[in-house]
């Protein structure tokens, strides 16, 4: 995790870059198109710092290690999932991320699941109530 904290002036300057999607005090969100282009340029032999400087980023403001760290991560994603992997927006939407969705075949199956969940929660509440009485 980066220890760099951006000032309001640095955030404003970073947000003017067309290769940005967002920026906070602690993090930068790069555009999907920039990620894809950067990975392809790196595979062509251009250094990470050079790619970021050509894209208009101040290396000293974002951190000297940031370009290489980002490209290592993006290249891994690109190799695993291709261009589509770099275009995914947000956490939990990747290959195995997020909570699995429940697909019930019919309403009876859904009702059985919910009744079981209610019974579990009632048992949990009873257990916690007994613990409170002992205290």
Q: What is the DSSP string of 49-98?
A: HHHHHHTT--HHHH-SSHHHHHHHHHHHHHHHH-HHHHH--STT-SSS-S
CB contact at 8 A, 16 and 4: no
Examine residue 95 and state whether it is found in any structural domain, yes or no: no
Same domain flag for 83 and 56: yes
Tally of domains in the chain = 2
* pLDDT score, position 93: 53
Question: Are 23 and 48 in a shared domain?
Answer: yes
Domain of 120, in residue numbers: 102-135
- The residues with which 23 forms a beta bridge, in sequence order, are 28
In this structure, the answer to whether residues 82 and 107 fall within a common structural domain is no
Strands 28-30 and 20-23 come out as antiparallel
User: Highest mean pLDDT range out of 65-74, 85-94, 97-106?
Assistant: 65-74
3-state secondary structure of 19: coil
Residue 18 within a domain: yes
Identify whether residues 31 and 80 lie together within a single domain: yes
Residue 1 counted as domain residue: no
d(CA 22, CA 12): 10
Q: Are residues 57 and 111 in the same domain?
A: no
For 38-53, the pLDDT digits (tens) are 999 999 999 999 999 9
Q: What is the pTM of this model?
A: 0.63
* Closest by CA position to 28, among listed 46, 56, 53, 6: 6
Q: How confident is the model at residue 102 (pLDDT cuts 50, 70, 90)?
A: confident
């Amino acid at each position: 995790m980066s220890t760099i904290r951006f000032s309001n002036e640095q955030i404003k300057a970073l947000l003017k870059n067309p290769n940005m999607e967002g920026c906070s005090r602690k993090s930068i969100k790069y555009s999907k198109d920039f990620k894809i282009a950067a990975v392809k340029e790196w595979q062509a032999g251009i250094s990470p710092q050079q790619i970021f400087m050509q894209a208009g980023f101040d290396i000293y403001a974002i951190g000297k290690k940031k370009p290489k760290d980002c490209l290592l991560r993006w290249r891994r994603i690109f190799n695993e999932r291709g261009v589509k992997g770099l275009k995914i927006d947000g956490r939990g939407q990747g290959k195995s991320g997020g909570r699995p969705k429940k697909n019930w075949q019919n309403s009876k199956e859904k009702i059985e699941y919910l009744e079981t969940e209610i019974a579990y929660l009632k048992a949990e509440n009873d257990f916690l109530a007994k613990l409170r009485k002992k205290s």
